[in-house]
A and B are shown apart, each in its own frame.
Chain A
Amino acid sequence: MTKATLLMAGVVAVGLTATAGAVNAEDIVIGAAAEPSAMDPHYHNLSPNNAIRNHIFESLVGQDETQRLYPLLAESWQPLDDTTWEFKLREGVTFHDGTPFTAKDVIYTVCRIPNVPNSPSSFTAYTKAIADMEAPDDHTLIIKTDGPYPLIPTELSTWGIVSAATMGITGDIAFDRDGCTGIDSWPETDDFNNGTLMNGTGPYQFEEFVKGERLVLKKNPDYWGEVEPWDTVTYRPITSAGPRVAALLAGDVDLIEAPPVQDLPRLREDAAVDVVQGMSNRVIYLHMDQHDSETPGITGVDGNPLLDIRVREALSKAINREAIVAKIMDGVAVPAGELLPPGMFGANPLEPDPYDPAAAKALLAEAGYEDGFEVVIGTPNDRYMNDAKVAQAIAQMFTQVGLPTTVDATTKSVFFSRRNNYEFSVYLAGWGAGTGEMSSPLKALVASPIPEKGYGGTNRGRYSDPTFDAMLDEALSTVDEAAREAVLQKASAYAMEQYAILPLHFEVTPWAFRQGLTYTPRADQYTLAMGIRPAE
């Protein structure tokens, strides 16, 4: 209904200008697809929260649009030995209330992260490698780890620094993994939402947050870096895609995130609107149950055929990735040959497995399954771009090589609960590499489930291979960047050779905005005001 309406209306709208109710040139209104659950930067490790956090609470290390690291509040960093890192903090940086930024604020932040009440998803995964922290002076920070841990700068880029003084700290504090000293009580998330504690160093200051309605940021005129061109930035949550496009066309908002794929062709034709798109860090993949000789979603055959590498290879070769990208994703995706897009840290890059139904049939016959078996593919239907449609297409492709396949599509809350209970033999899901490098997908999706190491957290296919785990161990303890990248590339290639998991495509993220603006697409899919500039 939405689609038909918009297309219909769209035909007439082409050529009309979208200047009605246009806002002041120095103010920007963003139509957001999702709303942050809180303003507290450490409450919920979730994309909308993290995107907003970047405006207000800066981190020591920044991630640029392709998620490469760059100095932010830390001017430089280096490993002193295998387990010690030295960070030199930027001098002359002040918080929004005018107080200077020092190493104490960083220590306080690390102390606070495990102590956020009611946090549904905390940042502890990115601080627990820190065994000890010291500040020899106000602008030097020494971080110690238990063993060699190359991801320290990457993990320090994921959380923002809050002001210790604003949180009520007047005396000295000292870091201790099991509980810092000098801190009596922890701030409440509500006090961030109402603005009391919103004191960061970022290019924007907090102005107002009305849940469900708007979030207003204003320019920080005393920013240590280049001051932003926009006086105010307003995020308006418009969660429904059709109305979000309409709001852009009506000139209510200047930029929208996630315009729906089916509206992109006509948005591109509209003279009043521009569209940009960029490769994201999100891969869409198929996981296959490789745990046991019993599997719930495959019938018509004894045992679990997915344990046989020839069957997994046959499934991969049965998938026409080019067709999925062209026909279902409308070009807003790129076929994937591994779990991280080319150009990112640790990507080989590898070519996508070629479409070869004849080879797939031959492999199935060779493995003793010439009569085929029935497969059920699990998929969410409201989580990734066109997720259920992609699963339907794959089901048809599997059916064509002699494996009658059906799709079990449900809403995301039901899907993820069922997936985590191992109810699917084959399922479609996506993975965004938050750290922007190869160890993120490999550790979560391919490594054996080993809770002590944090391995295999989302490996619901339960592929388990000691050879691969050893490669990952090596990568995660190699501090030298070039050597580490080589090991990650090798590990990725090995996992693909084993058909441990089948990458399908990388999502491409589009943004649409009114004429007169530009936006720099980001791999992490964040919509940042810092990326919006007046067009030349």
Chain B
Amino acid sequence: MLVYFIRRLTQSVVVVFLMAAIVFLGVYAIGNPIDVLINPEADQAERAAAIARLGLDKPLWEQFGIFLGNALQGDLGTSFVHGTSALTLILDRFPATFELAVAAMLMAILVGIPLGVIAGLYPDRAVGRIIMGGSILGFSLPTFWVGLMLIMVFAVFLGWLPAAGRGDTVDLAGVPVSFLTWDGLSHLFLPALNLALFKTSLVIRLARAGTREVMLQDYIKFARAKGLTKRRVVGVHVMKNIMIPVVTVLGLELGSVIAFAVVTETVFAWPGIGKLLIDSIGNLDRPVVVAYLMLTVFLFIVINFAVDVLYSILDPRVRLSDTKG
């Protein structure tokens, strides 16, 4: 386990470094942030002064060197646009996105797994077909359009839920969260639903395929022969065995939901990090983009590691020590 962990860590450091270099060069190649940031009325002298203030007058290798030196000390740079630490900007917004991602994931699991199991148990009945048909819709409707339709129906026509924003938050251990107030919950519901739609369809399909496969296994036949209730067979023996693929995919999806909930955040004006990323790319705010993507790489590494650990808990046949070789 320890060897595995150390090897994983070394790989991760290399990945993070390469990522930083690629993103740094990539954003540099797009253009000069001053061209976007400066007021057009500024004259040539002010332009030169602003370029110098942001350190953009130095050669590229020197800028990258300074960035690396600071990054090693935990300073990922100061945003060109906001003038504050890039890391603080991202971390300030992280709770909003994390809350949204977790809410969406919970919806996907709580709705997707039961529906998927039902569809797997009764693949030829109407209920199974309807569930599968619905999941195709969930897959194929574009998030942007669904988001706008949700706003139109629930906010504009029915007036039940607010159209955009995050609503009231309360501090939970110093972190602002929405799900503890009614107003916050009502703001959270639509974007989470929007984000959950695709994931739910994914979970339904995984759970259905898993169920159909597991139902044919000998141990299920044995369990039924032993006279166990159907509820216990499905609830314990089937459930446990379909979870491996679901956990793998959901682990990866959680990472991507956190990192790239951009569309949903934009449609619902949700103050998360996805929106920050898009704005920062538009403004060529290199420190924020680089810091963001480095954090994303880090996040994926952590999630993958957590998934590996979960495997060994769910399935005794998988042991992390096996991957030593």
Contacts and interface: CB of A to CB of B under 8 A. Distances in A.
Contact of B83 (A5, A38, A414, A419): A38
A243 B276 contact: no
A416 B35 contact: yes
Residue among A125, A236, A240, A434 with most chain B CB within 10 A:
A240
B30 A413 contact: yes
B157 A247 contact: no
Residue among B42, B266, B275 with most chain A CB within 10 A:
B42
A243 B267 contact: yes
B148 A2 contact: yes
B148 A457 contact: no
B139 to A, nearest CB: 17
Contacts of B152: 5, 9, 13, 246
B185 to A, nearest CB: 14
A414 B149 CA distance: 33
Given A9-B152, A12-B157, A125 B46 contact: yes
Contact of B50 (A21, A119, A238, A455): A119
Contacts of A124: 46, 49
- Sorting the interface of chain B by its residue count into under 10, 10 to 19, 20 to 34 or 35 or more gives 35 or more
A277 to B, nearest CB: 23
Given A118-B78, A250-B163, A418-B31, A13 B156 contact: yes
Interface stretch (A61-69, A206-214, A308-316): A206-214
A422 to B, nearest CB: 13
B271 A213 contact: yes
Interface string A421-464: 00000000001101100001000100001010011011000000
A419 B32 CA distance: 11
B65 interface: no
Contact of B159 (A125, A238, A250): A250
A435 B162 CA distance: 39
A118 B269 CA distance: 28
A497 B36 CA distance: 31
B148 A420 contact: no
A239 B266 contact: yes
A45 interface: yes
B44 A413 contact: no
Given A13-B157, A125-B41, A243-B267, A417 B30 contact: yes
A301 to B, nearest CB: 30
A121 B37 contact: yes
A120 B165 CA distance: 28
A122 to B, nearest CB: 7
A417 B39 contact: no
A146 interface: no
Interface in A28-67: 37-38, 40, 43-46
A240 B269 contact: yes
A535 interface: no
A249 B156 contact: yes
B167 to A, nearest CB: 10
A121 B38 contact: yes
Contacts of B164: 236, 238, 243, 246-247, 252
A246 B83 contact: no
B208 interface: no
Interface residues of A, number: 70
B81 A416 contact: no
Contacts of B38: 45, 120-121
Contacts of B267: 240, 242-243
A45 B282 contact: no
Given A121-B42, A125-B41, A457-B47, A412 B36 contact: yes
B50 A120 contact: yes
Interface string A478-515: 00000000000000000000000000000000000000
A454 B155 contact: no
B266 A240 contact: yes
B142 interface: yes
Nearest to B267: A243
Residue among B50, B92, B142, B148 with most chain A CB within 10 A:
B148
Interface string B151-193: 1100111010011111000000000000000000000000000
Contacts of A432: 40
B63 interface: no
A418 B35 CA distance: 9
A239 B279 contact: yes
Contacts of A196: none
Interface in B1-55: 30-47, 49-50, 53-54
B268 interface: yes
A494 B42 CA distance: 24
Interface string A190-234: 100100000000000000001111100000000000000000000
A411 interface: yes
Given A13-B156, A118-B83, A5 B148 contact: yes
A214 B54 CA distance: 27
Contacts of B144: 1-2
A457 B39 contact: no
B82 interface: yes
Contact of A451 (B44, B92, B284): B44
A59 B283 CA distance: 28
Given A243-B164, A243-B267, A246-B148, A120 B33 contact: yes
Contacts of A46: 37, 39
B80 interface: yes
A193 B80 CA distance: 15
A413 B162 contact: no
Contacts of B282: 382, 411-413
Contacts of A9: 148-149, 152, 156
Nearest to B142: A1
A470 interface: no
A242 B39 contact: no
B154 to A, nearest CB: 9
Contacts of A214: 165
A346 interface: no
A396 interface: no
A16 interface: yes
Contacts of B84: 38, 189-190, 193
Contact of B151 (A120, A246, A418): A246
B39 A434 contact: yes
B83 A413 contact: no
A451 B268 contact: no
6 contacts: A118-B80, A121-B38, A211-B93, A247-B155, A252-B165, A451-B45
A-B CB proximity, top 4 nearest: A20-B159, A417-B31, A454-B43, A212-B271
Given A122-B50, A213-B271, 12 more contacts: A16-B157, A38-B84, A117-B53, A125-B39, A246-B148, A246-B164, A247-B155, A247-B269, A250-B156, A252-B155, A411-B282, A413-B35
